[in-house]
């Protein structure tokens, strides 16, 4: 794709809502139940929009709410253009769009283009025979030949991401195997078939016509595989019994082939169609970099998929070790790469989601999770906040016999899977934390929900929630934090990350993050006006350019600077 140029990069940024956006990620099952059945729903989301406004969110991203047998909790879609009765009706969704718009909150929905449910009407047809209208909509292959046995053997050694077993399932009616890169109930669509691509673009148009502001695109690396479906090479570092079974092979052939970018760009083009010019639509693509060259992997998406309407998630908040030096190096080269390519590139930072342990569990210390929040909400571009992170929710241990997640059931090394980070939102000190009025929440509540919830934290100016609210407000009000560039500076301490967010005539901010568990001093060498935010109640002030700043363990600080350009 040609490099996108704009005569004035600042204009390219200011006109686009993803710049500086705070996107709040809702896992609908776990956010708010309005019907008393123990599962969150769309009316529940509507009832919490005022709360989301109090966090200054720009947009919400809803994980799937489509009809589904829930083998992967909605990521197995049985009908792309409807709402599962568990979550409500299409009317509820329209109401949600209208009520969100009335509060100036945009709505992004999850699109799962790589696979459907095996209960989707396309697959129900496809599995019947080779010669039906949907016969080539999925990835079907004959069994391995010459096996010398009567048992059909899968055509290659590809593995299922969730359970780690073979990614192929036998269909006796067709006498062929179908590919399921994820759960056996999630057959992969055949993206090489233009009819499939058209059908998914039709799904996009259905939701765009209703007024959604964009999409989060699921599992995009799997859209294109090596054309001959050759074996994945064995992983020489794999240790049986220690590593996930999925990692017994290196996934060179089963995902990530170059057509991925062309397919995504085709979908991005839908967002630019004339019918959708009334407002700016945007999509964020889910792909975890797998090579050592992660910045190059991120850049491949910006280069291949029109950055005016698309950006890949940046998962360094999940991948990178929590060390100042790693972040310094990453931020410097990532942001230079974006700036050099096009002013339209929007960074898109997610520090957590429904697939990874909560921030508090990954970082270990509440103070570290707070300074991570300061960092996230002062980084450029879009930032994603997973529900509950704003009150410092932690993973909840789930007894193995109560595990729901299919990832927990396949490979014993996956432990109890992803349920622990999907437990119900903690709103109040009531029995089920105000999540449900029924008696059967789909996952147990955290045991500390009576003391740790929105109600309690709202009354405490030093709480996680108050910190998130202050940060949200600052990000929305300050053009330097919303649209400004980022400059990584040397602050004379290996433990402290320092950066400046600046925008001409709109103020300048200095951010300092102490990644260590000790008190450290640093000398940022800039003249500050005021300390605007810290995760400690009594933090130091910075007055002169030569001042030494002392940071508490894991402290994060934001200063407003004396701006020489004003």
* CB of residue 112 to ligand NOJ, shortest distance in Å: 6
Task: Give the angle 330-333-339 at the CA atoms, nearest 5°.
Answer: 130
* CB of residue 39 to ligand NOJ, shortest distance in Å: 16
* CB of residue 387 to ligand NOJ, shortest distance in Å: 14
Catalytic residue among 41, 84, 232, 286: 286
| Range list of H helices, 211-256 | none
Q: Does 344 bind ligand NOJ (CB under 6 A)?
A: no
Say how many CA atoms lie within 13 Å of 525 toward its Cβ: 8
| Range list of H helices, 343-399 | 359-363, 366-376
Kindly write out the interface string for residues 267-306 of this chain, putting x where it contacts ligand NOJ by CB under 6 A and - elsewhere. Answer: -------------------x--------------------
CA 403 to chain centre: 23
Residues 500-529 close enough to bind ligand NOJ by CB under 6 A:
none
CA distances from 158 to 180, 192, 216, 487 (A): 9, 19, 26, 43
Q: Tell me the number of residues near ligand NOJ by CB under 6 A.
A: 9
Among 17, 27, 61, 75, binds ligand NOJ (CB under 6 A): 75
Kindly write out the interface string for residues 230-269 of this chain, putting x where it contacts ligand NOJ by CB under 6 A and - elsewhere. Answer: ----------------------------------------
Nearest to 392 by CA among 448, 342, 311: 448
Q: Please give the Cα distance from 84 to 62 (Å, whole number).
A: 13
Of residues 384 and 432, the one with the C-beta less far from ligand NOJ: 384
Q: Does 112 bind ligand NOJ (CB under 6 A)?
A: yes
Of residues 59 and 219, the one with the C-beta less far from ligand NOJ: 219
* CB of residue 310 to ligand NOJ, shortest distance in Å: 17
* CB of residue 117 to ligand NOJ, shortest distance in Å: 11
Tokens representing residue 240 in the block: 């049986």
Q: Please give the Cα distance from 112 to 75 (Å, whole number).
A: 7
* CB of residue 423 to ligand NOJ, shortest distance in Å: 15
* CB of residue 337 to ligand NOJ, shortest distance in Å: 25
Residues 164-183 close enough to bind ligand NOJ by CB under 6 A:
182
Which residue is associated with the tokens 């008190």?
519
Distance linking the first and last C-alpha atoms of the chain: 38
Q: Please give the Cα distance from 323 to 315 (Å, whole number).
A: 15
Q: Does 355 bind ligand NOJ (CB under 6 A)?
A: yes
CA distances from 332 to 164, 176, 484 (A): 36, 50, 15
Q: Which long-range contacts (CB under 8 A, 24 or more apart) does 90-99 make?
A: 92/41, 92/42, 92/43, 92/46, 93/42, 93/65, 93/210, 94/210, 95/42, 95/46, 96/42, 96/45, 96/46, 97/210, 97/211, 97/212, 99/46, 99/49
Q: Please give the Cα distance from 316 to 296 (Å, whole number).
A: 13
* CB of residue 236 to ligand NOJ, shortest distance in Å: 27
* CB of residue 289 to ligand NOJ, shortest distance in Å: 15
Q: Please give the Cα distance from 397 to 381 (Å, whole number).
A: 34
3-state secondary structure of 340: helix
Q: How many residues are recorded in the chain?
A: 566
Among 218, 316, 389, 563, binds ligand NOJ (CB under 6 A): 218
Of residues 76 and 555, the one with the C-beta less far from ligand NOJ: 76
Q: Please give the Cα distance from 78 to 375 (Å, whole number).
A: 39
Q: Is 286 a catalytic residue?
A: yes
Of residues 34 and 63, the one with the C-beta less far from ligand NOJ: 63
Of residues 354 and 501, the one with the C-beta less far from ligand NOJ: 354
Q: Does 72 bind ligand NOJ (CB under 6 A)?
A: yes
Of residues 139 and 331, the one with the C-beta less far from ligand NOJ: 139
Of residues 218 and 308, the one with the C-beta less far from ligand NOJ: 218
Of residues 390 and 405, the one with the C-beta less far from ligand NOJ: 405
Q: Does 315 bind ligand NOJ (CB under 6 A)?
A: no
* CB of residue 122 to ligand NOJ, shortest distance in Å: 16
Strand partners, 556: 513
Q: Is 411 a catalytic residue?
A: no
Q: Please give the Cα distance from 191 to 43 (Å, whole number).
A: 35
* CB of residue 162 to ligand NOJ, shortest distance in Å: 6
Of residues 122 and 182, the one with the C-beta less far from ligand NOJ: 182
Catalytic residue among 76, 84, 171, 218: 218
Say how many CA atoms lie within 13 Å of 244 toward its Cβ: 16
For 454, residues 6+ apart whose C-beta sits below 8 A from its C-beta are: 51, 391, 425, 426, 427, 428, 465
Of residues 137 and 182, the one with the C-beta less far from ligand NOJ: 182
- Residue number with the shortest CB distance to ligand NOJ? 75
Helix (H) or strand (E) holding 75: none
Asked if 369 and 360 touch (Cβ cutoff 8 Å), the reply is: yes
Of residues 25 and 197, the one with the C-beta less far from ligand NOJ: 25
Q: Does 111 bind ligand NOJ (CB under 6 A)?
A: no
| Range list of H helices, 64-142 | 90-102, 121-126
Q: Does 219 bind ligand NOJ (CB under 6 A)?
A: yes
CA distances from 275 to 64, 208, 309 (A): 25, 9, 15
Residue ranges in contact with ligand NOJ by CB under 6 A: 72, 75, 112, 182, 218-219, 286, 354-355
**Catalytic (active-site) positions:** 218, 286
């Amino acid at each position: 794709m040609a490099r996108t140029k704009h005569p004035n990069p600042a204009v390219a940024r200011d006109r686009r809502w993803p710049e500086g956006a705070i996107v709040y990620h809702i896992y609908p099952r776990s956010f708010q139940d309005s019907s008393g059945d123990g599962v969150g729903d769309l009316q529940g989301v509507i009832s919490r929009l005022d709360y989301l406004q109090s966090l200054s969110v720009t947009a919400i991203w809803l994980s799937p709410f489509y009809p589904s047998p829930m083998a992967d909790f909605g990521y197995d879609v049985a009908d792309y253009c409807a709402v599962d009765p568990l979550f409500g009706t299409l009317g509820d969704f329209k109401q949600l769009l209208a009520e969100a718009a009335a509060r100036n909150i945009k709505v992004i929905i999850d699109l799962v283009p790589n696979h459907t449910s095996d209960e989707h009407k396309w697959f129900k047809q496809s599995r019947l025979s080779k010669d039906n209208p949907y016969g080539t909509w999925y990835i079907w292959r004959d069994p391995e030949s010459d096996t010398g046995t009567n048992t059909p053997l899968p055509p290659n050694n590809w593995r299922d991401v969730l359970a780690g077993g073979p990614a192929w399932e036998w269909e006796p009616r067709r006498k062929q195997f179908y590919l399921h890169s994820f759960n056996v109930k999630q057959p992969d669509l055949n993206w090489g078939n233009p009819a499939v691509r058209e059908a998914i673009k039709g799904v996009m148009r259905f939701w765009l016509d209703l007024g959604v502001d964009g999409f989060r695109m699921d599992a995009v690396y799997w859209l294109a595989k090596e054309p001959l479906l050759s074996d994945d090479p064995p992983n020489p570092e794999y240790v049986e019994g220690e590593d996930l079974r999925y990692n017994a092979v290196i996934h060179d052939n089963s995902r990530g082939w170059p057509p991925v970018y062309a397919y995504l760009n085709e979908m991005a083009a839908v967002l630019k169609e004339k019918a959708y010019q009334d407002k700016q639509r945007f999509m964020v693509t889910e792909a975890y970099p797998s090579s050592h060259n992660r910045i190059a992997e991120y850049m491949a998406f910006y280069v291949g998929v029109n950055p005016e309407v698309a950006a890949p998630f940046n998962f360094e908040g999940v991948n990178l070790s929590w060390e100042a030096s790693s972040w310094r190096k990453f931020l410097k080269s990532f942001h230079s790469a974006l700036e050099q390519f096009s002013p339209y590139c929007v960074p898109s930072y997610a520090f957590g989601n429904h697939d990874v342990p909560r921030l508090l569990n990954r970082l270990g210390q509440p103070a570290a999770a707070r300074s991570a929040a300061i960092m996230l909400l002062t980084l450029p571009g879009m930032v994603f906040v997973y529900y509950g992170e704003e009150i410092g929710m932690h993973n909840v241990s789930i007894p193995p016999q109560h595990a729901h997640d299919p990832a927990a059931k396949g490979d014993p090394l996956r432990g109890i899977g992803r349920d622990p980070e999907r437990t119900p939102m903690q709103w109040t000190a009531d029995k089920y934390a105000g999540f449900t009025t029924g008696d059967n929440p789909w996952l147990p509540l955290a045991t500390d929900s009576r003391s740790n919830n929105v109600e309690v934290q709202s009354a405490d100016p030093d709480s996680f929630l108050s910190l998130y609210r202050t940060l949200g407000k600052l990000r929305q009000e300050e053009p330097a934090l919303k649209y400004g560039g980022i400059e990584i500076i040397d602050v004379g301490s290996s433990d402290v990350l320092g950066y400046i967010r600046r925008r001409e005539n709109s103020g300048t901010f200095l951010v300092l993050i102490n990644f260590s568990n000790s008190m450290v001093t640093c000398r940022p060498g800039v003249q500050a006006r005021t300390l605007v935010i810290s995760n400690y109640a009594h933090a130091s002030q910075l007055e002169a350019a030569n001042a030494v700043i002392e940071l508490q363990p894991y402290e994060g600080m934001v200063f407003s600077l004396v701006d020489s350009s004003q």
